[in-house]
Chain A
Amino acid sequence: MVLEVKQPRPLWEILFSTHHTDIGLLYLITSITALMLGGALALALRAELFLPGLQLFQDPTSFNRFFTVHGTTMLFLWAIPFFAGVGNYLVPIMVRYKDMAWPKLNAVAFWMIPVGAALVWVGFADTGWTAYPPYSIIRAPGPAAEMWIFGLKILGISSILGSINFIVTILSCRHPDLSIMKISLFAWSILAVSLMTLVAVPTFAASLIMLYTDRLGISGFFNPAMGGDPIAYQHLFWFTFHPEVYIFLLPAVGMLYEIIPKFSRKPLFSYQSGVAAFVLIAIIGFASWAHHMFAVGMSFTEKTVFMVGTLAAVPASAMHVFNWLATMWGGRIKFAVPLLFGVGGIMLFFASGAGGVVNTALPLDFITHDSYWVVGHFHLILMGTVSLTFTGFIYYLFPLITGRMYNERAGQIHFVLAFVGVIFVFITQHVLGLYGMPRRIVDYDATMPGWLIMNQIATVGAWIAGLSYIIMLVNLIKSAGSGKEADMKDPFQIGEEYYDYKRREPHH
C-alpha cells in the first residue's frame, strides 16, 4: 500500500485488518475513488449540455443512467464513506479507546460498501437517484433498477451498522476521565449523525423493499394502477433523505471545528453552542422533509407546517457560522491548504443556505422546484460546503496518515481552481433555474434566452473543478511516496502541539 511507506505492509494485511486505522484508510481510499468516478460522470453530463442536441450520448436513456449513477455515487459512495472513514480514524483516538467498539462489525460494515457499489455501477439504473414511482416501478428497465434497489439496500445496512458502532464507541467506550462534554466537536458531529442515521435510514430501507415487491407486481404500495399512492413513497423517501442532507453536512461542520481553531491559533469561541446546534439540528432536521414535495399537490396547511419546520433548522446552522467567525476573530490565522478549503466552504455555506430558504418560501417553489436552481442549490451545499471541507480535511489528515507533507503550492492551486469552478458551475445554475431550465434533461431548446451561454459557463466551470481534483490526486499520490517528511508534532508549522491526538500504528 502506497500510504504505508515507512514500514511496507502486505496488502492483504490491510484488507483483512479489523483495526480502526486500517478500516478508516480503506474507507478513505474507497470514497476518494468514488469521488473521481462520480466526478467523471458529472463531467460527461456537463460536456453533453455544452451544446443543445445530442453529441456525447447516443440516446437520452444513457444520459439518464449517467445522472442517476452520478448522484448515487456522490451521496452514498463519496460523502458517507468519507466521513465514516475519518470517523473511524479519529473517533477511537478522540474518545481514548483502543479501537472501535466492535472491530469485526466495523470491517463488515466497510466491506458491504464495495458490494453495494458494484451493484449500482454494474446495473447503471436510469431511475434518478430518487427513484420516484411509478416510473421506477412500471417503466424503469430491469435488471438495472433491481440492482440499484439492492445496492442501496446494502449501502443502507452498512451505514446503519457503522452508526451503531460509532454510537457505542462514543457513549460506552469513552475513557472514564472524559465526560461527554469534553470530547471534541468532531466526535459530537459523528454521534449526532449516527443517531440521525438510526432514525432516518430504516424508513427508506422499508420503502426499498416495497419498491421491489411493487416491481415484481405482487404488491401495489406505490402503483396507482393497483390502488397505491406514489406520493407515499415520496414521503418515506424524504423522511430519510432530508435528515440525510444534515447527515452529510454535520461531519463537515465537525471538521471545520477541528480545522478553524488550530489554524487560527485560538481556542474555540463556544463549545456549548456548537453542541447545542448539533443537538438542535439532529431533532429539527426531521421536521422538514416534505419541503421537497410542495408541488405534489399538498394542502396549504401541510405546506405551512413544513416551511416552518425548514426555517426552524436555519438558526442552528447560523450558530455554527457565528462560532467559526468568532473563533477566527482576533486570531493569527495561517492560511494553510486545509483552512483555505474551510473558509471557502463557509463562504459557500451562506449562499447555499440562503438558496435553501428561497426554496422553502412557499410560492417561490413554483419558480425553483425541479429547475436548475435546485441543482445549483444542493450542489452548492454538497460540493461547495461539504466536499470542499472534506477535501480540506484530506489535506489536514494527510501528514497524520502518511507521515509526509503534500505539496503546498499544488494544494493552493487546487483550492483556487476548485473554488472558482464551483462558483462558475453552481451560481450559474441558480440563474439558469430562474430562466426556467428543468433539471435532468439531455437536450435543451437553444432559442430560450440565456440557456445556451449559461450552460456553457457551467460546463467550463465543471471542467475547471474537474482539473483541480486531478491536481489533488496527483499531489496526494506523489507526496505519499516521495513527499517531504512531516514534522509529526507540528506538520503545518503552527508553533504548538498540533494534533490533539497521536498517530496510531495498527496492532496486528
Chain B
Amino acid sequence: MSSDLGQGNLMSPRSNIWLLLLLFSPVNVLVLSSFDNVFAQEAEEYVIRRVEIWALFYRLMVAAFVVGAVVQGAIVYICWRFRESHKKNRIREIEGV
C-alpha cells in the first residue's frame, strides 16, 4: 500500500504517509497480536471446527454490516441530499448558479 504513494516525496514530513501510519498503527498492532493464538493453541485441546468457523463468520458479519451501513447510508444520504428536487438545490437553481 505504502509503495503506491510514490511521487518521490514519500518520506517528506508533509507526505500523506505519516498520516496513514498514524491512523493505522493501532489496526496493525491488533492484527499482529492475533497471530499469537495460532502457535499457542496447538493440539492440546481439540478445536471444534463448527464453533471456530461460525465464530469467524459472525465476526466478519459484524464488520461487514457496520461497513455496509456506512456505505449504504452514504449512498442514500447522497441521493437524498443532492437530488435536484432538494430545497437547497432548488435555491441554487433560482439564483442561476
Contacts and interface: CB of A to CB of B under 8 A. Distances in A.
A405 B6 CA distance: 48
B21 interface: no
Contacts, number: 59
A345 to B, nearest CB: 11
Interface stretch (B11-19, B25-33, B49-57): B49-57
A321 to B, nearest CB: 7
A335 B56 CA distance: 40
Contacts of A333: 78-79, 82-84
Nearest to B57: A364
A346 B75 contact: yes
Nearest to B93: A332
Nearest to B78: A328
B53 A366 contact: yes
A307 interface: no
Contacts of B74: 325
A18 interface: no
Nearest to B72: A347
Contacts of B67: 354
B75 A332 contact: no
B71 A343 contact: no
B68 A332 contact: no
Nearest to A363: B53
Interface in A181-214: none
A358 B79 CA distance: 28
Interface range for A? 20 to 34
A328 B82 contact: yes
A158 to B, nearest CB: 37
A361 B56 contact: yes
B42 to A, nearest CB: 14
Given A358-B60, A363-B52, A347 B75 contact: yes
Given A329-B82, A333-B83, A367 B75 contact: no
Contacts of B92: 332
A364 B53 CA distance: 6
A334 B84 contact: yes
Contacts of B54: 367
A431 B29 CA distance: 34
A508 B83 CA distance: 44
Contacts of B61: 358
A496 to B, nearest CB: 13
Contacts of B53: 363-364, 366-367
Given A325-B75, A333-B79, A354 B68 contact: yes
Interface in A332-355: 332-335, 343, 346-347, 350-351, 354
A45 B24 CA distance: 48
Contact of B79 (A343, A350, A357, A366): A343
Contacts of A328: 78-79, 82
A358 B67 CA distance: 14
A330 interface: yes
B78 A325 contact: yes
B89 interface: yes
Contacts of A317: none
A321 B52 CA distance: 33
Interface string B61-97: 1001001100110110011001110000100110000
A346 B68 CA distance: 12
A506 interface: no
A264 interface: yes
Interface string A241-285: 000000000000000000000001000000000000000000000
B11 to A, nearest CB: 22
A335 B68 CA distance: 23
A347 B69 CA distance: 11
A334 B83 CA distance: 6
B57 A350 contact: no
A331 B54 CA distance: 43
Contacts of B93: 332
Interface of A: 264, 321, 325, 328-335, 343, 346-347, 350-351, 354, 357-358, 361, 363-364, 366-367
Given A328-B78, A333-B82, A354-B67, 7 more contacts: A331-B82, A343-B75, A354-B64, A358-B60, A363-B52, A364-B57, A364-B60
Interface of B: 49, 52-54, 56-57, 60-61, 64, 67-68, 71-72, 74-75, 78-79, 82-84, 89, 92-93
12 contacts: A264-B82, A325-B74, A329-B82, A332-B92, A332-B93, A333-B78, A333-B79, A335-B79, A357-B64, A358-B57, A363-B49, A364-B53
Which 7 A-B pairs rank lowest in CB-CB distance, beginning with the nearest? A354-B64, A363-B53, A332-B84, A350-B71, A328-B78, A332-B89, A333-B82
